[in-house]
Amino acid sequence: MTLLLFLGVLIGAILLGLPVAFALLLAAIALMLQLNLFSADILAQALINGVDSFPLLAIPFFLVAGEVMSSGGLSQRIVRMAVSMIGHKKGGLGYVAILTAILLAGLSGSAVADAAALVAILYPMMQKAGYPGGRSVGLLASGGIIAPVIPPSLPLILIGVAGNISIKNLFLGGIVPGLMMGGALMLVWYLLMRNENLETLERATAAERIAAVKDGVWALLLPVIIIGGIRFGVFTPTEAAVVAAVYAIFVSTVIYREMTFQRFLKILVNAGRSTAMVMFLVGCAMVAAWLITVAQLPQQLAALLGPLVENPRLLMAVIMVLVLCVGMVMDLSPTILILVPLLMPVVKLANIDPVYFGLMFVINCSIGLITPPVGTVLNVVCGVGRVPMSSAVKGSWPFIAAYLVLLALFVAFPSIITVPMKWFIG
């Protein structure tokens, strides 16, 4: 009864058009009334305590770092370097887009920002070379969603806080799945483009390649510093966010000299607004999570899923189908903050590795960013590239199918993720 009340109020509020944060707060109040615990003071205190978290400090700094990289010339130099390396091959701009997406994922951690940057820089070049419009946009959107998986990733920070999972281990564990997502895109792109008659770019000379690498090496050093620093215990993920922001500001102002004071102020305002929205959502979600625990909703859910607890792979498959369905109609962050507190006790009861579960959850939610009817990233790339949504949806399906096959492999063979993860963690 309590579980149905919580889900009924939450889903009903969302269907009525209430923002997810307020819907979570309303569902939490409904639970408080049901349990005879309602108190405005307790509600306010729980809301404040929900965002009083050291790991969450990483969010504003990574947001600043990502914005600075886009505005300070780092993203453009990475594209230029990728073009000089593989732009001359058949379908080369597609491979450039995928390689750039992987590299940008190690800089910003934002699917929307990466996808928008890819479309703004590469889509005009792909149009000029005669690439199919819908398929090109589909590839660029699909490349953008690698960002939530490869560190530094804002969704991995959120799931670490919501599920009480080591953010360091999530960061290190996300490297291999993220690279495999890029490899899957390259394979599909090769199969799609092998019979196409496309214009290819002129092969870059050795001198041009060296110049492009020299120009882009400062941008490439950032993910090395972040991952290396976390892996060897030099700093925590939160401290890594500060290092990333300071490094990005230094490179864009002192090395590349493309960051102006006015542009930097705009970046701070944008990052502040984004942080405020995320933090309020997290605060409301943590209130709901606390009441979910008090009302013993995870135990009720565990009773429903009881037969599956004995079979971890089957349980993961059912959870992944549930998350995929929710992710198609809800954005990534709310999905994490709503479902993870509810599912985490069941996952632990089934002895599923929490880090593996966290990575699988984020990969699955990321796929939802390019699936209709919501498809946040798909909407962004259509807006930036001025492409009809129907064309983008049609062009995205081969890449979505590849991601779903990869997800199924991860469910069937968890060691694909857990073995490299344990090696990185040491």
- Average pLDDT per block of 10 residues along the chain, 426 residues long: 78 82 86 83 82 83 81 78 81 87 80 82 83 87 91 89 90 93 94 78 82 84 84 85 88 85 88 86 84 77 76 91 85 86 88 94 92 80 82 90 95 93 83
The 3-state DSSP composition of the chain as helix, strand, coil percent (nearest 5) reads 80, 0, 20
Nearest residue to 55 via CA among 182, 132, 158, 149: 158
Does the pTM exceed 0.85? yes
| Structural domain includes residue 134 | yes
Cβ neighbours of residue 424 closer than 8 Å, sequence gap 6 or more:
172, 173, 175, 176, 231
Residue 76, pLDDT score: 79
Q: What is the 3-state secondary structure (H, E, C) of 77-133?
A: HHHHHHHHHHCCCCCHHHHHHHHHHHHHHCCCCCHHHHHHHHHHHHHHHHHHCCCCH
Residue 339 lies in a domain: yes
Question: Do 182 and 146 form a contact (C-beta atoms < 8 A)?
Answer: yes
Residue 387 Rama label (left phi>0; alpha psi -120 to 50; beta): beta
Instruction: Identify the pLDDT of residue 406.
Output: 96
Instruction: Give the pair of three-digit tokens for residue 286.
Output: 């943590």
Give pLDDT, residue 126.
83
In a domain, 2, yes or no: no
CA angle (211 as vertex; 206, 214 as ends), nearest 5: 125
Give buried/exposed letters for 340-376 (b at 16+ CB in 10 A, else e): bbbbbbbbbbbebbbbbbbbbbbbbbbbbbbbeeebb
Evaluate whether residue 89 is within a structural domain: yes
| Phi and psi, residue 423, nearest 5° | -65, -45
Confirm whether 59 is domain-assigned. yes
351 domain-assigned: yes
The answer to whether position 370 is within a domain reads yes
Range of 69's domain?
39-425
Residue 257 lies in a domain: yes
Residue 329: phi and psi, rounded to 5, are: -120, 0
Amino acid in the structure at residue 354? P
**Res 11: pLDDT:** 82
Q: Are 354 and 163 in contact (CB under 8 A)?
A: yes
Number of domains in the chain: 1
User: Among 95, 92, 93, 108, which Cα is nearest to 145's?
Assistant: 108
Query: Coil, helix or strand for 1?
Result: coil
The pLDDT, as a whole number, for residue 1 is 64
* pLDDT at res. 409: 95
The tokens for 152 are: 């530094």
Tokens 């599912």, residue? Answer: 343
Q: What is the DSSP letter of 36?
A: T
Spatial distance between the Cα atoms of 157 and 362, rounded to a whole number of angstroms: 11
Whole-number pLDDT of residue 207: 86
